[in-house]
Chain A
């Protein structure tokens, strides 16, 4: 285990989660404001990369036990399955639906099928970025 500057570690602990939170916000904001699956995914990946840079790979693997290859597969499956949803109703592949649903307390919620589709993209982007970076980083070490 290599040692890293203490300041760096302390700052990262706070900042990484701010970035993570912001990336989740970006993801949900996507439909009406700048953001979306692609940007949100990239930002999440950036936050995680920061964590990996600060602490070592082993530690983070314990904390975030994701298999990024499986994450890509899950994302692709989610996107494709969402796209096929419309086909059951006789609509073409990737037909999108949206509807406003009013919940008690929470108020109006805009439900779209674009959201799970975007989530699929989000997962693929996160999985891709980290898989590539980690694979290259672990090589030779």
Chain B
């Protein structure tokens, strides 16, 4: 256990104490207890940054978890994971600070839930970016889905919140499943779950039949998480979450997990044409669709949501183009494709700063005016000057205007796209000319929605009658976090090279390992002015056409594409979900009849068919009574009694007699255990029978009087077939097993236990030693099942649904 292991675990540990602190210190906002954690983690992580110019050496620490399956809790810290971990903790700290002022410390606000979910999310996210082991990564990955769904549904009494949470959960979790399948395929090919080792064996697996399926499955996970087209539809609905959550999940962390995954797997799949085209084209499509759709939105958070979708597409497409770097030689730390990776990492960082501040600003507007609808807002510039200034900085950066950091990455994005178009691998010649065109069109729309956001909110006429509250400037506490982020936007806009060799270059080295010579670094030099080149003219065009469209906004919004209120792709999700529910209800109605008898029929029929089929297929019928144990006369007697009582059971007309008969069977079996010298089993059986009788009598007391004729056993052909079938199959299997062991003598497992019970577990009672030691995990999980059953019984009985109510 090293310090690094504690980084993803610390939030979970703190989360345990939150409910206690929430109850103990009611007058203190729970957020204050959470705040120190991300700050401490951030400070701890900062020290790993290579300030002195020396390259960052990756650190790896391992704890064995299930070593026999290659599953270990391995923490791996390199430039890429450090960049993400810093974003998660840094933005996390600001978001917590912001939330303290945003969510009032009122009794009806379940703050303990909020912060527990938030911490869970933070820990899961840190786990994703720090794990080297794919299975551990997957576990944390799904935890982020779960935690984010809980956060989105924080105000669960709102229908829309629940809808958004369900949607995000369904889409991201199914993507996660696909990703898990991809991971197992990789394991199949390489025999390891470690990303390091997989990267080391790329040359062997790249020709494997399973390589492309694995790639596509993993990309499905990344695309659903990062809201790539057409999976982006969950992100706008996720905006029902409280704004601090939106700022955190949807600007800095969760949606970037997909980006992280693609970056992480670039060394594995990077040299492939399929990877290049899939990642680039989906990224570009998302970029275009997101920016065009953002113009439709009337809700400020809706605009930001689609803006996030589009910016994620931008980073994704850059990663796609940058993956071609494996086809080129790197000279002096630079090659034609590496600039795309550079742009992706720079924009990733910049996006987190300006989008984070914008989300917080929108939260402030919502908080102070009571609405986020741009049709109601307007003229807030003079009323909320500080908010306006922060918005101006954020929006200008998002639109890609100098001197803010968004301009730098936007220019670099154009450079990346232009260089992508001029690649001469993967048949880029045929379609590559599209890259810069799409990039430019999307940027025009980006500029357009940036203008809408800023001007519709802050300029024009103030309409106080449409607002729920009287607008005024936000309290200082709410402003701290966005001010810090906006200052970062300006700071890194003016001095971009602060990032160059501390953050961007180590991240690039992590994404593109093995390309550099020993001791070399990628060439990172970020500057504002690079002459009158294509990129600058593209930016000028963006500003010009964007402004032109804004002037003609009415006409733009009257085009057919903008007439609908929602994203047209939602149709597929809503109808798909409806179909799923109708379909499963239909299946349920056939299968779940509510009659115990039918369930037994299904189960036994399945048993007969599956086991019977295997018996026939493998031809294992065999009869060989050699080595069979002697059967004493007592046993014949007891077994005969058991058989007689069992056969008599269905002919009983009286319930009490039936219960007593069942009891007799149970006690006779206990007797059998005694004769066969299994005191533990006999004791258990006896006690269970005793308790069962009490239970049966209690249930009996509650059973409604059944009509006599229902109880008369009618001879039922299907019942007879099934019961005889089960008996036959079990008997034949038993005989076959015995015959098999005669032919193939093997050492019995019981011998192992007899020999080792005392030596390894220090106990003489083998049964008990097996229960608590050799198979302790089974026992533990069994008692967990007991606990769940007890819970179910209590819920079923105490909270009975009323007539016609849904369970």
Q: How far is the CA of A32 from the CA of B680 in the complex (A)?
A: 11
Contacting residue for A76 out of B64, B698, B784, CB 8 A: B784
Asked if B691 and A42 make an inter-chain contact with CB atoms under 8 angstroms apart, the answer reads yes
With known contacts A45-B691, A124-B787, A131-B790, A96–B680 Cβ distance under 8 A = no
Which B residues lie within 8 Å of A131 (CB)? 790, 793-794
- B688 within 8 Å of A by Cβ? yes
Listed by A's residue number, 6 A-B pairs whose Cβ atoms lie within 8 Å are A33-B765, A34-B683, A38-B684, A39-B680, A46-B687, A69-B791
Which B residues lie within 8 Å of A124 (CB)? 783, 786-787
Asked if B789 and A128 make an inter-chain contact with CB atoms under 8 angstroms apart, the answer reads yes
Chain A 89-116 residues near chain B, CB threshold 8 A: 90, 92-94, 96, 98, 110, 112, 114
Q: Which residues of A are at the interface with B, using a C-beta cutoff of 8 A?
A: 26, 30-39, 42-43, 45-46, 49, 53, 68-69, 72-73, 75-76, 79-80, 83, 90, 92-94, 96, 98, 110, 112, 114, 117-118, 120-121, 124-125, 127-129, 131-133, 135-137, 139-140
Asked if B789 and A110 make an inter-chain contact with CB atoms under 8 angstroms apart, the answer reads no
With known contacts A49-B694, A72-B786, A137-B698, A39–B780 Cβ distance under 8 A = no
- B798 within 8 Å of A by Cβ? yes
Asked if B793 and A132 make an inter-chain contact with CB atoms under 8 angstroms apart, the answer reads yes
B677 to chain A, nearest CB (A): 11
Contacting residue for B702 out of A31, A118, A139, CB 8 A: A139
**5 nearest A-B pairs in the assembled complex, by CB-CB distance:** A98-B762, A32-B764, A42-B687, A31-B763, A34-B679
With known contacts A32-B763, A131-B793, A136-B699, A39–B773 Cβ distance under 8 A = no
Asked if A49 and B691 make an inter-chain contact with CB atoms under 8 angstroms apart, the answer reads yes
Chain B 763-792 residues near chain A, CB threshold 8 A: 763-765, 767-769, 771-773, 776-777, 779-780, 783-784, 786-787, 789-791
Asked if B762 and A110 make an inter-chain contact with CB atoms under 8 angstroms apart, the answer reads yes
- B695 within 8 Å of A by Cβ? yes
Which A residues lie within 8 Å of B687 (CB)? 39, 42-43, 46
Asked if A69 and B794 make an inter-chain contact with CB atoms under 8 angstroms apart, the answer reads yes
Which A residues lie within 8 Å of B784 (CB)? 76
Which A residues lie within 8 Å of B691 (CB)? 42, 45-46, 49, 129, 133
Asked if B790 and A127 make an inter-chain contact with CB atoms under 8 angstroms apart, the answer reads yes
Asked if B768 and A30 make an inter-chain contact with CB atoms under 8 angstroms apart, the answer reads yes
- B637 within 8 Å of A by Cβ? no
B62 to chain A, nearest CB (A): 11
Total number of A-B contacts with CB less than 8 angstroms? 140
Q: How far is the CA of A53 from the CA of B780 in the complex (A)?
A: 31
Contacting residue for A133 out of B64, B694, B763, B786, CB 8 A: B694
Identify the closest chain B residue to A29 (Cβ). Answer: B765
A15 to chain B, nearest CB (A): 13
Chain B 33-60 residues near chain A, CB threshold 8 A: none
B690 to chain A, nearest CB (A): 5
Which B residues lie within 8 Å of A136 (CB)? 695, 698-699, 702, 793, 797
Interface string of B725-768 (1 = CB under 8 A from A): 00000000000000000000000000000000000011111011
Q: How far is the CA of A98 from the CA of B334 in the complex (A)?
A: 62
B10 to chain A, nearest CB (A): 17
Q: Which residues of B are at the interface with A, using a C-beta cutoff of 8 A?
A: 1, 63-64, 679-680, 683-684, 687-688, 690-691, 694-695, 698-699, 702, 761-765, 767-769, 771-773, 776-777, 779-780, 783-784, 786-787, 789-791, 793-794, 797-798
Which B residues lie within 8 Å of A114 (CB)? 761-763, 769, 772-773
Identify the closest chain A residue to B787 (Cβ). Answer: A72
Contacting residue for A38 out of B763, B771, B777, B798, CB 8 A: B771
A76 to chain B, nearest CB (A): 6
Q: How far is the CA of A33 from the CA of B680 in the complex (A)?
A: 9
A94 to chain B, nearest CB (A): 4
With known contacts A42-B687, A136-B698, A128–B790 Cβ distance under 8 A = yes
Q: How far is the CA of A30 from the CA of B771 in the complex (A)?
A: 10
A27 to chain B, nearest CB (A): 10
> For A34, A92, A94, which residue has the most chain B Cβ atoms within 10 angstroms?
A34
Which A residues lie within 8 Å of B684 (CB)? 38-39, 42
With known contacts A30-B765, A131-B793, A137-B698, A80–B780 Cβ distance under 8 A = yes
Asked if B790 and A132 make an inter-chain contact with CB atoms under 8 angstroms apart, the answer reads yes
B510 to chain A, nearest CB (A): 29
B699 to chain A, nearest CB (A): 6
Which B residues lie within 8 Å of A26 (CB)? 683
Asked if B702 and A140 make an inter-chain contact with CB atoms under 8 angstroms apart, the answer reads yes
Identify the closest chain B residue to A112 (Cβ). Answer: B762
Identify the closest chain A residue to B798 (Cβ). Answer: A135
Asked if A31 and B769 make an inter-chain contact with CB atoms under 8 angstroms apart, the answer reads yes
